[in-house]
Amino acid sequence: MHKQLFIPGPVDVRSDVLEKMATPMIGHRGSECTELQKSISGKMQQVFQTENVIVLSTSSGSGLMESAIRCCSAKKAAVFSIGAFGDRWYKMAIANGKAADKFRKEDGQATTAEEVEKALATGEYDLITVTHNETSSGVMNPVGEIGEVVKKYPDVIFCIDAVSSMGGVDIPVDKWGVDFAITSTQKCLGLPPGMSIASVSEKAYQRAKTVSNRGLYFDIVEIYDKVMKNYQYPSTPSLSHMFALDYQLDNILKEGLENRWARHAQMAEYVRNWASKYFALFSDPAHLSNTVTCIANNRGISVADLNKELGKRGMQISNGYGDLKEKTFRIAHMADATMDDVVKVTNAINEILNL
């Protein structure tokens, strides 16, 4: 039996989108492929609210996160982390031999514009990374406010991890001055895992050209140049994802971005209210995510057992991430999930736990 997924990626994929993954192949160096990638780029620019170049990578989101920090910092990077995924971006910097400092908040807290200002005022950094939506704690950072600070430092490349939020919440990339915004297919966009998408500013591209040892597969200069030349990809892309992505973007734009954000906000509000009534919210209430809710396990239930029981009913939620396992659990409300779905899963939890 298929279990309906309430985990923060991979998400359930509509059957019509899954079918598009089975489209017969085309040559990746022909005009048909150029048209396909061009079509994806145009629609994706609407989702990202940007005029920057859209790049694709046949990798999960981590691939372009690694690309951003490796290729676009020539001096030193400031990594603002509020959880597991921020920590991973710092690990990527170190693993690639880059100079980087990590600014870590406690789990459940957000990065503030003041903290970013303080770090940038030292003049030590030429790139910063911020997690827009930290999936381990269900916190959404105030990236718009942070963007206002970064605008005062024109030499700084502003990178955001929007892996678990792009397509589910309002992220005006150009208005916020984001140079490198990254997402993956398997979260709010509602596709199978395997492709990463980013918007890259001319400024980030120019910086990358000055950086040596950018690697090859994730060299953003090579990927960007190929898009500029003919909307193709340096190696063989996952064409299956591209067919499905082009199609799913039509679904997303048909729903309307504002409607999509509103649906996510409504599901989030419902799950938060439920969580506050029967458990407690884990994170700072001023910075809660609209795509995933992290719930404090203040009743001391066995989350693993709960998930087993949910499994028998054809549903799956997420245990806490890393050290937060069993101390928290998470319910994702992203991509094409509906109010009916989140009502169904919370009702099932109430029934299992006799709440």
Taking the complex as a whole, how short is the minimal distance between the CB of residue 8 and ligand PLP, in angstroms? 6
- CA angle at residue 216 from 240 to 207, to 5 degrees? 110
Of 9 and 168, nearer to ligand PLP (C-beta) is 9
Residue in this structure with the two tokens 């039996």, named with its chain if needed: 1
What does the alpha-carbon distance between residue 198 and residue 88 come to, in Å, rounded to a whole number?
Answer: 18
How far are the Cα atoms of 190, 219, 341 from residue 53, in angstroms, in the given order? 22, 15, 35
Taking the complex as a whole, how short is the minimal distance between the CB of residue 250 and ligand PLP, in angstroms? 23
- CA angle at residue 278 from 273 to 284, to 5 degrees? 55
What does the alpha-carbon distance between residue 120 and residue 295 come to, in Å, rounded to a whole number?
Answer: 33
Taking the complex as a whole, how short is the minimal distance between the CB of residue 105 and ligand PLP, in angstroms? 15
Neighbouring-strand partners of residue 190: none
Of 164 and 348, nearer to ligand PLP (C-beta) is 164
Taking the complex as a whole, how short is the minimal distance between the CB of residue 65 and ligand PLP, in angstroms? 6
What does the alpha-carbon distance between residue 43 and residue 245 come to, in Å, rounded to a whole number?
Answer: 10
Residue 84 burial class via C-beta count within 10 angstroms: exposed 0-12, middle 13-18, buried 19 and up: middle
Phi (first) and psi of residue 5, to 5 degrees: -95, 125
Taking the complex as a whole, how short is the minimal distance between the CB of residue 35 and ligand PLP, in angstroms? 26
Of 190 and 348, nearer to ligand PLP (C-beta) is 190
Taking the complex as a whole, how short is the minimal distance between the CB of residue 60 and ligand PLP, in angstroms? 3
Coil, strand or helix: which one is 336? coil
Interface positions with ligand PLP (CB under 6 A): 8-9, 60-62, 85, 131, 133-135, 161, 163-164, 184
Of 314 and 322, nearer to ligand PLP (C-beta) is 322
Of 134 and 246, nearer to ligand PLP (C-beta) is 134
Of 12 and 161, nearer to ligand PLP (C-beta) is 161
Taking the complex as a whole, how short is the minimal distance between the CB of residue 159 and ligand PLP, in angstroms? 12
Kind of pairing between the strands at 328-332 and 292-296: antiparallel
**Residues 40, 258 contacting (CB under 8 angstroms):** no
Of 33 and 110, nearer to ligand PLP (C-beta) is 110
Taking the complex as a whole, how short is the minimal distance between the CB of residue 62 and ligand PLP, in angstroms? 3
Of 52 and 133, nearer to ligand PLP (C-beta) is 133
Give the side-chain half-sphere CA count within 13 A for 127: 31
One-character DSSP codes across 111-164 = --HHHHHHHHHTS--SEEEEESEETTTTEE--HHHHHHHHTT-TT-EEEEE-TT
